[in-house]
Amino acid sequence: MPRLGDESGTTGASFGARALVLADVLAESSDSPEYLACTYMTLAHRAVAARLREWMRIAGMTASIDAVGNVVGRYPSERPDAKTVIVGSHYDTVLNAGKYDGRLGILSALLAIEELHRTGRKLPFNIELIAFSEEEGVRFSSPYLGSSAVAGKFDMSLLPRRDAGGYGLADTLAAAGFDPHAIPALARKREDLAGYLELHIEQGPILLGEGLPVGVVTSIAGAVRYSVVVTGTAGHAGTVPMQMRHDAAAAAAELTLLVETRARQAPGLVGTVGRLTVPNGAINVIPGRCEMSFELRAGEDAMRDAALADVLAGIKAIQQRRGVTIDAKEVLRSPAVPCTPRIQKLFGDAVARAGITPRLLPSGAGHDAVMFDKLTDLGMLFVRCGNGGISHSPLETITAADADIGVRILLDVLVNYQS
């Protein structure tokens, strides 16, 4: 019997080659004819969900779509009292997306479970493969809609929220045939869970740079974000002498370099000024006001907060020296989520058994796994991203050989998992 994604009609194709074929099939459904976009509850999004449900059934699972649009496949244990290991990632995408962000994790688990089923192997725990409906936060500006529901953290106050076209979240769900009031009941019970596993494309250049196909995630970075207004004194660009100026943009530039310089001082720490504007700026006017943002991320909260303290102290110094006012407001603070040591070890051992040096690395990007923090043991495997590590772009690439290693390691971890 041909296996999922095996176009050759034989049983010759590798897991990795098949995963890439299946990712191509999913990418045929898009909100746009010009690029890949699969945002929450669009026709393309529903088509992808239906396809995943069909594939899960072919792979030997019972499968259904829940009230928030997650596709849930179940590969039961033979033990009636068995706990459940969730393997998940998301099937929604950003606009103008790559084909593997989120989906590689779903397809890798799908092929691993198909292999268990094909070889008649049952495990001492149930596996739930969950293709989460929403992680990117594109349509309703709120990420993790799918995984938050399963983790019992869905925010029901989001239901009246509207998308850019004016459609409400609750109405959108109802129009697609879903009952938003059934979402709280999707929460899994802590005592039923034996862990959460996620495979994901790295979305960065570290593994590529080191020549490694996979890496074991140690933690998912937390972030602090600040919104900043710098107020100086506007003036004539030709008449005000340099030593008498209070230039808001020059102060903002200094702050930008401070964030960069401080973030460079510790490996695993990153700092970014993503917004930087001179509202109504003109070429012959000294900037009187500058609006900007900065964020700091690290795999450890203490490292991040030490950097933040230095940046805030620097802001004070810039204000005094330049005679400007800098109003910096914290707009987001999310803690780093550590991956459970025993699951890091399980992944590391499986990587070593595959003949690869286990490389531990933090994740700078958020993932569905963060929703399972403090609910159950969790761990992640990264697969090398090609093309310089570009992601959230059609330039995102992965090789069949790397995808193959990812599926094999996931399968190894499942088989050796201690629930």
Shortest reach from residue 367's CB to Zn ion, in Å: 6
Determine the Cα–Cα distance for residues 117 and 124; give it in Å rounded to an integer.
14
**142-163 as b/e: b if 16+ CB within 10 A:** bbbbbbbbbbeebeeebbebeb
Phi, psi of 297 (to 5 degrees): -135, 145
Indicate the residue among 101 and 412 with the shorter CB distance to Zn ion: 101
Indicate the residue among 66 and 101 with the shorter CB distance to Zn ion: 101
Q: ∠ CA 333-336-337 to the nearest 5 degrees?
A: 130
- Residue 353 is given by DSSP the state H
Angle in degrees, 0-180, between the axes of helices 43-58 and 103-118, rounded to the nearest 10: 20
Indicate the residue among 115 and 134 with the shorter CB distance to Zn ion: 134
Shortest reach from residue 137's CB to Zn ion, in Å: 11
Shortest reach from residue 191's CB to Zn ion, in Å: 29
Cβ neighbours around 372 below 10 Å, total: 25
Mode of pairing for the β-strands spanning 193-201 and 84-90: parallel
Shortest reach from residue 332's CB to Zn ion, in Å: 19
Nearest one of 337, 418, 417 to 372, comparing CA atoms: 337
Cβ neighbours around 65 below 10 Å, total: 19
- In three-state secondary structure terms, 348 is helix
Shortest reach from residue 63's CB to Zn ion, in Å: 21
Indicate the residue among 201 and 411 with the shorter CB distance to Zn ion: 201
Cβ neighbours around 307 below 10 Å, total: 22
Determine the Cα–Cα distance for residues 414 and 410; give it in Å rounded to an integer.
6
Shortest reach from residue 94's CB to Zn ion, in Å: 9
Q: Which amino acid would we find at residue 34?
A: E
Indicate the residue among 279 and 394 with the shorter CB distance to Zn ion: 394
Shortest reach from residue 222's CB to Zn ion, in Å: 17
Indicate the residue among 44 and 116 with the shorter CB distance to Zn ion: 44
Indicate the residue among 138 and 343 with the shorter CB distance to Zn ion: 138
Shortest reach from residue 59's CB to Zn ion, in Å: 22
The token duo for 25 is: 């099939």
Shortest reach from residue 392's CB to Zn ion, in Å: 9
> What residues does 333 pair with on adjacent strands?
224
Indicate the residue among 16 and 102 with the shorter CB distance to Zn ion: 102
Determine the Cα–Cα distance for residues 130 and 70; give it in Å rounded to an integer.
7
Nearest one of 160, 162, 132 to 368, comparing CA atoms: 132
Nearest one of 38, 19, 35, 18 to 146, comparing CA atoms: 38
Indicate the residue among 138 and 296 with the shorter CB distance to Zn ion: 138
Indicate the residue among 318 and 381 with the shorter CB distance to Zn ion: 381
Binding site for Zn ion (CB under 5 A): 101-102
**88-107 as b/e: b if 16+ CB within 10 A:** bbbbbbbeebbbbbbbbbbb
Shortest reach from residue 236's CB to Zn ion, in Å: 50
Shortest reach from residue 183's CB to Zn ion, in Å: 21
Determine the Cα–Cα distance for residues 151 and 376; give it in Å rounded to an integer.
9
Indicate the residue among 151 and 273 with the shorter CB distance to Zn ion: 151
Comparing every residue's Cβ against Zn ion, the nearest one is: 102
Residue 238 CB burial class (10 angstroms; 0-12, 13-18, ≥19): exposed
